[in-house]
Amino acid sequence: MSDDSAQLAVPARELLEKLIGCRSVTPKDGGALDLASQHLQAAGFACERLDCRGVANLYAQLNPSQQPALVFSGHVDVVPPGDDAAWSSPPFVATERDGNLYGRGACDMKAGVACMIAAACAYARNPESGSLALMLTSDEEGEAVSGTRHIVETLAGRGSRFAYGIIGEPSCARQIGDTIRIGRRGSLVAQIEFTGVQGHIAYPARIKNPIEALAAAICLLKKREFSAPEGLEPTHLTFVSVAADAGASNVVPRIARARLGIRNSIADRGADLMSWVEESLATFDCQCSCSWRTYSQPYLGERDGRLVKVLTKACESLHGCTPALSAGGGASDGQFLRRICDEMVEFGCVGESMHKVDEHVKIADLGALAATYLHCARSLLA
């Protein structure tokens, strides 16, 4: 373990334990941002609340007039824990077991927040010439309208811009340092409805079966293979629900419905995918309607920028691995932050347990992650 890792492990863990104790089910922060503000103000950061429509947001900055500027970004809200009885320990009580720290949000992403704050406070004791900032929200797991999006719009209105941005989402696959996210796929959802002719199954000439049309449509859409830029995840199409029932075993229903989710890479425009789906559905002998909702647009950042190079070297020297560059996973607040950052990545803890029962993070990873953030701040702002 490096000297920085050892020094940062204790404050990162102590802060994470307190954050897990905050019942911050989205969009509530449960007092987590007051806790963050206390630590950052004590370290010399100027803290500002940018709350919006009941959502708590915090913006903190050190040496705001200096350049270059680096911003750490994260969220303190969590998904609901589900049935508390299914957990091995209370979801909002940080519990150590087998070298892990358990609790809702431990992985996604209170560990990242705790490590960013620990690193920022350590950096503030001996800052470089640039400016370090943090933006934290309680609206990422929900609608994601009044959180980072609002902070970014506010800062953009002030003319603020950053050379570098790091989001502390759980990016790594198996160990700290094995993955850097340089982009994300977009997110599209379609509600599909086939309308046929209801009737008795003994008289097939008198009916038009929407279930069979829907089943054929699913097979047709799933046949398509997608490509993506080298090393990145391709577009992925998945049906997540199907419903059709006339209430009796001898009656074909009139309507069959399905919900389709698409995660599209930068290689596939959302508008093109929507047109392809609708044109494919129109080939079947049943009336069909399709309504869409776009949750996020795909983006791809710099592969060879200074931020990726500095972070890669940090992973190699601190963790002994060369990180893969990824643009997969679900939507994140990167879709907003990239508007005011010249270069941006996502880098955090191992994400295997996010949103699961008994969510957890390796205690040994906390000091390592905080040391990585501190290394990046010192290198990028020097």
Residues that are catalytic: 77, 140
Q: What is the rounded CA–CA span in Å between residue 346 and residue 315?
A: 13
Distance (Å) of CA 284 to CA 76, 240, 259, 329? 46, 21, 17, 32
**DSSP sequence for 309-345:** HHHHHHHHHHHS-PPEEE--SS--THHHHGGGEEEEE
Alpha helices in the chain (DSSP H): 3-20, 32-42, 111-124, 148-157, 210-222, 270-281, 306-319, 334-337, 363-381
Asked if residue 97 lies in contact with residue 34, where contact means CB atoms within 8 angstroms, the answer is no
Question: Is the sign of the CA dihedral 361, 356, 324, 295 positive or negative?
Answer: negative
Which phi and psi angles does 367 have, rounded to 5°? -65, -35
